Structure 1
Amino acid sequence: MASSETQIQMLNRHIRTGARHISRQREIIDRLTELGAPPELAVELLDLFEVMQELHIAHRERLLN
């Protein structure tokens, strides 16, 4: 966290970054599926990204309320 960055700004940055990771991971899963490669590990990673995203959003909501 940059010294001038507030906690809300940091969470917003993490949420934006998380959204990009989730989007990219979905693309990877689609590509693996197209190639006939096993997507299981990629799906597990997507699940983790989505859980982390939910946690960041919930944390931000707690701080805003």
Structure 2
Amino acid sequence: MTKKLIILLLAITPIAAFAQNAKLAHINTSELFNQMPEIPGIETQLNTKQEEISKNGQALV
């Protein structure tokens, strides 16, 4: 029983030490999206879909 406990503690210790070295970062997503080359094409697709949905909504009213 004590051997199992010692082995378990020895196995958990490196995991706990590794978890303390976690590094966090902050990223500005709007700046990232503005730098993506696909954004203008996606914006035109979204505008087209928005107009299509708006026309369908107006037809229902």
Same fold (TM over 0.5): no
Q: Bin the TM-score by the shorter chain.
A: 0.3 to 0.5
| Structure with more of its chain in helix, by fraction | 1
**TM-score normalised to structure 1 length:** 0.40
**TM-score normalised to structure 2 length:** 0.42
Q: Which has the higher contact order (CA 8 A, sep 6+)?
A: 1
